[in-house]
Structure 1
Amino acid sequence: MRLSGSAAGLQQLQQDHESGARKLAAVALSILRTTLEHLEDPISLNGPWWRKTCLAAWHLWKNGRPSMDAAIVSFLLLTLSEISTVLSQEIGSGTCKELCIQNAFDNIQHMIRSYTTRISQNLASHILSKDENSKTKRNRFTILALSCSSTIRECIVQSALASGAPLINIHVLESRPLFEGVSMAASIVSRFEALPIPRPQVRVTIFTDASVAQAAMEVDLLLLGADRIAADGSVSNKTGSLPAALMVHHMEPAAETIVVSEIYKVATEPSNQHNVENNEASEVMNAWKQNDKVKGLDIVQDRLESDDAGHGQATVNVQNVYFEWVPPSLINTYICENGLKTPEDFQRQAQWVSEQCEVYFGIC
């Protein structure tokens, strides 16, 4: 069965290497919404319209972006649940049904947009609570972060303000190969400069990924996002997250490593069953090509692995893995949109996802 717009929508999800899991989930909802607008079947839970709706959602989940499918499937399931609830009621004309379906999509999208504020406020409350218990006034507060995320940026701002420190040091890893850390640093500066005076003095330092040990020195807080969360509390995030967590754990054991994420990024599979996303080598090599001091690039390019490589000839493989897992042993705290969470909460969420998949995708 071919659904209008589904192929283009899947390609959009597959080729977006900049957006985070939540934004991709919002994109998936928009694609599903557009797909439903092109269905010509009568809107009903008992006919082909509903089967096609669930099938379109299933394809977006399974064939969109596997490394970020936890958030995608959770928000698709929430949307299907809301649509199912609405259509189970006595609704008159097809136009009324269409309006109710549009409202269902709007409600979920509004919920997604609320998460940055809710999560950052919960983090600020957590920082305030810890400081009240310690009764120690901070002279400075140092945060380590990586990649580029509006949620992480807002969490940095709110935790910095909650610390009450007059000096805020923010260490940002450059996050190769796309150097999202540079964009993150600029975004942080702009966000702090938009705050009313008086405001703390802010010093942002960008570190190369290789110098993560220096970046971890004297930090009070490591902030990590999550593209997916396993039921045991392991977190998949931008490559560089594991070295950062290891360095903070080893060098600054008093520091706190906090994962900030909505709970709808919990996946049903354990971390060792998730696919590794290895992206285009060209993203890594582009930086080499722009630096005339890199020697031997022509040999590397000539020896890149390929199916027709000659026998006995040395080959070169360029890895560009976007995500890696951080085990729960390196994470102190999980903060979600509705407060602090534990691996037990994630296990319950994973069970919910499994049950909902059976309800809505069992017919596909």
Structure 2
Amino acid sequence: MYALSCSKLPGALPLYPSAAVTRHPTSSLLRPRRCQVRAASSTTKQQLERRAVVSSFLYKFTQENGQKKAKVALFKRSTQVRTYRQRWAVISGSIEPDDPSPLAAAWREICEETTLTPSSLELLRQGKSYSLPDESIGREWIITPFAFRLKDVSEGGKGEAGIILDHEHETWAWYDPMDIEDSESFGAVPRLAESLRRVWFEKDLGLAAGAVLTEGLNKLKHDHESTAHQSSVFSLRILRNIMLELDAQQPVDEWWTKVKFAAWHIWKNGKETLCVPILYALLAVLKSMEERLQETKKDAADNSANASRNVLVRELDDHIASAGQDAACSRVGSALVSFLRIHFAAQEGSGQPLKVLTVSNNAMLTNALRHIVSDTEFLLDLRVPEQCSSFEGMSLAESLLQQLDPSQAISKSDAKEHEHLDRGAVFKLNMTTYTDASLAAASEGVDVILLGADALIESGAVHHKTEAIPAILRARHASRKAKTVVLGEIAKVAHSKVVGVCITRDGDPADLTSTWQAGSAGLDRSVAGTVAYSRGGINATIRHPKHGRTTGLVDVRNALMEWIPSDLVDIYVLENGILTVEDIRDLAEAFAQEEERLFRHI
């Protein structure tokens, strides 16, 4: 460990007791005015070094008087550090070049300063990054705050006993997050409350609206069944309920900023794997409501949000009522059929099957397959690897059969009543499921690897489940003619600087560890007591079978999602036709500009 420098603090600015302050335009928080370096006769602009840091707030929840109460841990800096001695702070530090993401940096800093690992903490929320310039030291801090929940011993965590401080802090204590403020009398490091409000949105939204947002985020996080479209509509309903709970007596501009603030959290802290379509839906409705807001402000009798709120809620209701995915799905299916008829024309109606491998299972892909069977003369040889945990093959077969008319299940040249079919009949759809370990057999001789994208970014990279890359590589090795076709929609195109390139979804490590036999190969599945930093999963210790001492560590990770690079993709099919990487980039950049404009000042 090392002494904490300025780069280790969340928004670490020196305290200036005499500095003037200006009021934040959307809250009662106070911000220090930027200090100016003055020459004898003129003011010079200093070039600031940018430094990215993370600030992590650790929370616990208790029952007080029958109500759930939040407490946040603050850590008092010791006399051994160089800056802000005896000041209250949180766990903070620089994002290092080898940190894959700000979240990874936050986990690393927490372990270094408290010894806590993911087995004892749960990520609650991420706050919007913000900039704090400090011209006195030539730095501009880019701060990304996080909130974590401390797990109780009953949940497999270590609880408060797991917090072991290093030399940077001398003690710690629980505080009510609503009591934390940026003031000299509170005795905290600078801008602590500003970082906190970005993860503890109750401070800005109020308890009622904050409770609605918290409940909505929990439902989004734990919903593993809803489609992208369903989750997007649900996200709009969360926003609607928040708008009704926000204080409408406040100035309309402050009220509108809080609406956008809530929308940002719905996107960022809801359903990570569907963050792109959710954000797309939120941006579309915010833009529409923004236009209506400008109209209502002209005719408003006063400056409160009263006059505008009901109008904007009705505008949001119209968006929810008109939200539909059928049109986009149908256009994607038609575009796919056009592509197949151009590139595989010789196989249509020839009796030679079109061999398609897919490791996806979503509404867009199911609808596209239905178009192939219903609208063409292709004989579809569909191959689907089966995962024991999610049963994609069985689910896809069930979805297709529910949508297809029985007469469409055989070739039109050999149409018969379903009950009269014999085993020699020629079916338009022949589907085979394979074990997920037998991709080589499933990929043999395929014409098309068909994938449904969860997200697309400006480079053309595709967010998808982890089986896709092995399937593509194996199919291309077996057949040079195999084409990788990605199905998507405009609502799933985003820029990496908005959504990040590290959005992943890990499955429960217990899916793997549950198959282990206790004590097998000297493996003890209990959480290690002296474990180094872990990026996630379950920590297990390896104990020597004879003397019982720990000889190593096992970190179990059940990764489910990955990014497929664009050089493994041949064709992108969206509702507006066949797109190139350049087309994807244009859509992503427009998306990023709108996100920046709407969320710039929250």
> 351, 358, 377: which is aligned to 1:145?
358
Who is 2:231 aligned against? Answer: 24
Who is 1:292 aligned against? Answer: none
Offset of residue 198 of structure 1 = 6.0
Asked whether the 8 Å contact 1:185–1:206 carries over to 2, the reply is no
Who is 1:67 aligned against? Answer: 273
Offset of residue 105 of structure 1 = 3.4
- One-letter amino acid matched to 2:393: G
In structure 1, the residue corresponding to 2:383 is in which secondary structure?
strand
- One-letter amino acid matched to 1:334: Y
Who is 1:234 aligned against? Answer: 461
Who is 2:340 aligned against? Answer: 127
Offset of residue 314 of structure 1 = 4.2
Distance 2:236 2:353 in 1: 42
Distance 1:55 1:275 in 2: 21
Offset of residue 132 of structure 1 = 4.8
1:36 maps onto 2:248 in alignment: no
- One-letter amino acid matched to 1:281: P
Distance 1:158 1:274 in 2: 33
Normalising by structure 2, report the TM-score. Answer: 0.53
In structure 2, the residue corresponding to 1:348 is in which secondary structure?
helix
Who is 1:105 aligned against? Answer: 320
Asked whether the 8 Å contact 1:303–1:314 carries over to 2, the reply is no
Long gaps (5+) in structure 1: 289-294
- Structure richer in strand, relative to its length: 2
> 377, 393, 405: which is aligned to 1:181?
393
- Correspondence 1:251-330 to 2 at 5 A: 251-269=478-496, 273-285=501-513, 288=515, 296=517, 299=520, 303-304=524-525, 306-308=527-529, 312-330=550-568
Comparing 337-346 with 89-98, greater Cα deviation is found at 89-98
Distance 1:238 1:20 in 2: 15
In structure 2, the residue corresponding to 1:344 is in which secondary structure?
helix
Comparing 243-252 with 27-36, greater Cα deviation is found at 27-36
Offset of residue 298 of structure 1 = 5.7
Distance 1:136 1:123 in 2: 17
- Structure richer in helix, relative to its length: 1
In structure 1, the residue corresponding to 2:258 is in which secondary structure?
helix
Distance 1:348 1:277 in 2: 27
Offset of residue 273 of structure 1 = 3.6
Q: Residues 197 and 210 (structure 1 numbering): CA distance in 2 closer, same or farther, change over 3 Å?
A: closer
Asked whether the 8 Å contact 2:257–2:601 carries over to 1, the reply is yes
Who is 1:223 aligned against? Answer: 450
Q: Deviations over 1:260-299 (max 9, x none)?
A: 001222232179841433231124456x4xxxxxx73664
Paired residues, number: 353
Offset of residue 176 of structure 1 = 4.9
Task: Tell which has more relative contact order, 1 or 2 (C-alpha 8 A, sep 6+).
Answer: 1
Asked whether the 8 Å contact 1:82–1:104 carries over to 2, the reply is no
Long gaps (5+) in structure 2: 1-203, 301-306, 412-426, 530-539, 542-548
Normalising by structure 1, report the TM-score. Answer: 0.85
In structure 2, the residue corresponding to 1:306 is in which secondary structure?
coil
Q: Deviations over 1:291-327 (max 9, x none)?
A: xxxx736648963373426662444443221211212
Asked whether the 8 Å contact 2:347–2:353 carries over to 1, the reply is no
Distance 1:176 1:301 in 2: 27
> 12, 16, 19: which is aligned to 2:219?
12
Asked whether the 8 Å contact 1:67–1:277 carries over to 2, the reply is yes
Offset of residue 138 of structure 1 = 4.8
Q: Residues 135 and 116 (structure 1 numbering): CA distance in 2 closer, same or farther, change over 3 Å?
A: closer
Q: Deviations over 1:83-105 (max 9, x none)?
A: 11233335786655432331133
Asked whether the 8 Å contact 1:175–1:240 carries over to 2, the reply is no
